[in-house]
Amino acid sequence: AKQEERGTIRFFEAAMDHQIREKRMLQRDLVVAIENRQFELYYQPQAAADGTIVAFEVLLRWRHPERNIISPAVFIPLAEETGLISAIDEWVVREACREAATWANKLSIAINLSPVDFRRGDVPRMLADVLAETRLEPERVEIEITEGVLIDDFAGAIAILRDIKALGVRVAMDDFGTGYSSLSYLQAFPFDKIKIDQTFVMKLETNPQSAAIVHAIIGLGRSLKLPVIAEGVETMAQQAFLASEGCAELQGFLIGRPYPIAHYRNIVTKGAGG
């Protein structure tokens, strides 16, 4: 048994070493990813209750030279650890604003920013510069942040968020319901929207607790006069439930998957209201 135990430990150590090496390698490769043009933006539609597409969320993809596409769920945390995320997010903001500025129908874009951006960089200045440079209307930009932004330096983060709103850019609270203090944060800052996390939406049909939580969040939004968007909507049953609860907007594979903007070209080039 001792022998076997040692074998198991060696196996885990080898697996650990492999993971650490793998992580270091990706972190090294990330350093040149921007200049080597390995990042691509995907766009996922957000629809109003009647199905009309009103905005696109911008989702980053990394086309690694040796590995095909790597998910942001994998590389964003690695970029956050090294601080490289600030340069990456600035690249995303610039590219997405440039793209959206060309859209005939003037739909909005929702851009994810990392909590690390708020600690390391001057986010309001960066946004102001990009808006000036691309001439995109600030009202067409929404920043999605998680409550992680408010965790280490609460007052500092609130001040930065105020400066962002002063530019005319909207701020949405992402992944709502998954953190610890979401409710008090809603009181501390005038968010423009709350986004129900997909973990609740996906279990709507199978888990009564999830349905109750979604019901409560939509009710909270109504009381606070905050539009609520649900993400991860995959089935018509989920859509029907959310519609009956009065959820303002929907996002998910049922409405449309994230794709390069070429896939949605006919939507963004149509005239307003089309």
The angle at the Cα of 64, spanning 58 to 66, to the nearest 5 degrees, equals 160
Tokens encoding 220: 């909270």
Binding mask 210-229 for ligand C2E (x = CB under 6 A): --------------------
Binding mask 111-150 for Ca ion (x = CB under 5 A): -x-------------------------------x------
Residues 79-108 that bind ligand C2E (CB under 6 A): 85, 89, 92
Q: Binding segment for ligand C2E among 67-75, 119-127, 135-143, 242-250 (CB under 6 A)? A: 67-75
Binding mask 174-193 for Ca ion (x = CB under 5 A): xx------------------
Please, are residues 231 and 144 in contact by the beta-carbon 8 Å criterion? no
Tell me the CA end-to-end span of the chain in Å, nearest whole number. Answer: 70
Residue 187: how many other CB atoms lie within 10 Å? 9
Among 122, 163, 192, 234, binds ligand C2E (CB under 6 A): 234
Residues 201-260 that bind Ca ion (CB under 5 A): none
Closest CA to 191 of 172, 212, 207: 172
**132 binds, options Ca ion, ligand C2E, none, Cβ within 5 to 8 A by partner type:** none
Residue 136: how many other CB atoms lie within 10 Å? 22
| Contact between 253 and ligand C2E per CB under 6 A | yes
Calpha distance 194→120 (Å, rounded): 25
Please, are residues 98 and 134 in contact by the beta-carbon 8 Å criterion? yes
| Contact between 113 and ligand C2E per CB under 6 A | yes
The Cα-based distances of 232 to 7, 236, 249 in angstroms read 42, 12, 12
Tokens encoding 79: 């970029």
Residues that bind ligand C2E (CB under 6 A): 44, 59-60, 71-73, 76, 85, 89, 92, 112-114, 144, 174-175, 198, 231-234, 252-253, 258
Chain residues that interact with Ca ion, rule: CB under 5 A: 112, 144, 174-175, 197
